[in-house]
Amino acid sequence: MRCGDGRVRWGVYGAAGVLFVIRESGAPFVMLQKRSAMAHEGGSWSCAGGALDEGESPYDGAIREASEEVGDVPADHAVLGEYLFAPAHDWTYTTVVIEVTDRFGSSINFETDAVDWVHVDEVDDRFLHAGFAAAWPHLRTIIETPDT
């Protein structure tokens, strides 16, 4: 859709994705998806996600999209938080941050070229999708904020 700021974005009802986190020996790693040439900003790294269906919550849409792109989401996961990226008054992208206990994921459809688990200190070394790059500092804060 053409958004209020003049940019074209995917998802009439907005979009959502999941940033999966695992802690190994206390160190946080995140799952990144390399977007295929068939996807928006192909060749860049981001989290699995996509357009929301009408009436779908960001959490439900994010889980659905991740399942379609990188595989079944482990049932034993914990939601750490979410970040709402709102670059226009009429469009948002919600990233749900979910901690899992085991690594999973692979390229299972045309939108994904690769899946990699990356230490949080190395995320900025990747060629990131512009929207994900804008959200990353906020997402990292969610990952590194201790439970209270």
**pLDDT (tens digit per residue) in 112-137:** 889 999 999 999 999 999 889 999 99
Domain positions in the chain? 15-144
Name the CATH topology of 15-144: Nucleoside Triphosphate Pyrophosphohydrolase (3.90.79)
Euclidean distance between CA atoms 13 and 9, whole angstroms: 10
The dihedral built from the CA positions of residue 73, 25, 83 and 43, taken in this order, carries a sign that is negative
Share of the chain above pLDDT 70, in %: 91
- Give the per-residue pLDDT at 43: 79
Query: Which one is predicted more confidently, 143 or 38?
Result: 143
pTM of the model: 0.90
Higher pLDDT, 102 or 148: 102
Residue 100 pLDDT greater than 80, yes or no: yes
Contact in structure between 128 and 46 (CB atoms under 8 Å): yes
Residue with tokens 């206990």: 101
Contact between residue 24 and residue 109 where contact means Cβ atoms under 8 Å apart: no
98 exposure class (CB count in 10 Å sphere: 0-12, 13-18, 19+): buried
Whether the predicted pLDDT of 110 surpasses 60: yes
